[in-house]
Amino acid sequence: MIEVRDLVYEYPSKRALEGVSLAVPDETITALVGPNGAGKTTLLRCLAALEAPYSGTVTIDGLDTSQAPRQIHAQLGYLPDFFGLYDELTVRRCLAYAARSHGIAPALTAAAVEKAARQVGIADRLETRAGELSRGLRQRLAIAQAIVHAPRVLLLDEPAAGLDPQARRDLSALLLSLRDSGMTLVVSSHILAELEDYCSEMIIIENGRVVGGKPIKVRDDERPHYLIELATARSDLKSFLAGAGVDLVEADDRRALIVFTHNAGARAKLVRDLVHAGFDLASFGLSSKALEETYFAQVSGAKAAP
């Protein structure tokens, strides 16, 4: 769906992206993470065909952003980090304008507006002026504008910034439902906790490069992340796990983050083997911070590498 090859982007005084290559599969939610100034927003804008690369290519659904920017614009939804709304217009008119300007026929506009408003939970506010909405509702309206034309790709830059916990939970549910409806989403954020709930892949950007060179799978229902914790430290934990057929993400003498099969029997056997080997097992369970752990494992690994 989204393919980036050797992307270089330069501002007049700085090179923001240094040969980025990646592929985002269909119908996934991919997190774009990294520190402030790493190049996340620039990469998103290149994906959205809002910035032309200095060299390299970006293709969306087979269309090159340099060759066919307007066709790509028409099939994309994009929520910038700092977005604006037409405060004087009602929610209905904001959405109607977004729909019509994305090529929705006049006869189909009303239905598209109703559907988008329902999807984001603002169907009861259609006659309210945008300027009268709360921060969370404005965010929902902005997302509704981005999805009113049912794009195949949705790019969101810091979508949960400024939202309260309930609004964040609603946002997670919305993004998952959009993915389930066939959309491919890329979500940029530097707040890892908010991505944990819905992202299946992660791309780490640091200093204009992709850390590790490719997207990392962070959510796999067949092979989830598990966290093992020992009551007593053992220096051979890492080597034991490596020999037990697990994928080690990160480990020290007391704890390990692993990727392992969801199969209950295999998990029970691993726990038995650990206990039989004399490890003082304190806990073994699904990691609730898989994305965060993976991020820091990758970033520290990249820093340790020469």
- Residues interacting with other proteins, by CB under 8 A? 6, 8, 10, 12, 19, 48-52, 54-56, 65, 69-70, 73-74, 76-78, 80, 82-86, 88-89, 93, 97-98, 100-103, 145-146, 149
CB of 77 to other proteins, least distance (A): 8
CB of 46 to other proteins, least distance (A): 11
Q: Kindly tell me which of 146 and 237 has the beta carbon lying closer to other proteins.
A: 146
DSSP string, the chain: -EEEEEEEEEETTEEEEEEEEEEE-TT-EEEEE-STTSSHHHHHHHHTTSS--SEEEEEETTEETTT-HHHHHHTEEEE-SS----TTSBHHHHHHHHHHHTT--HHHHHHHHHHHHHHHT-GGGTTSBGGGS-HHHHHHHHHHHHHTT--SEEEEESTTTT--HHHHHHHHHHHHHHHHTT-EEEEEES-HHHHTTT-SEEEEEETTEEGGGS-EE---SSS-EEEEEESS--TTHHHHHHHTTPEEEEE-SSEEEEE----HHHHHHHHHHHHHTT--EEEEEE-TTHHHHHHHHHHHHHHH--
Q: Kindly tell me which of 103 and 306 has the beta carbon lying closer to other proteins.
A: 103
CB of 193 to other proteins, least distance (A): 26
Q: Kindly tell me which of 22 and 76 has the beta carbon lying closer to other proteins.
A: 76
Q: Kindly tell me which of 161 and 248 has the beta carbon lying closer to other proteins.
A: 161
CB of 167 to other proteins, least distance (A): 20
Q: Kindly tell me which of 19 and 37 has the beta carbon lying closer to other proteins.
A: 19
CB of 98 to other proteins, least distance (A): 7
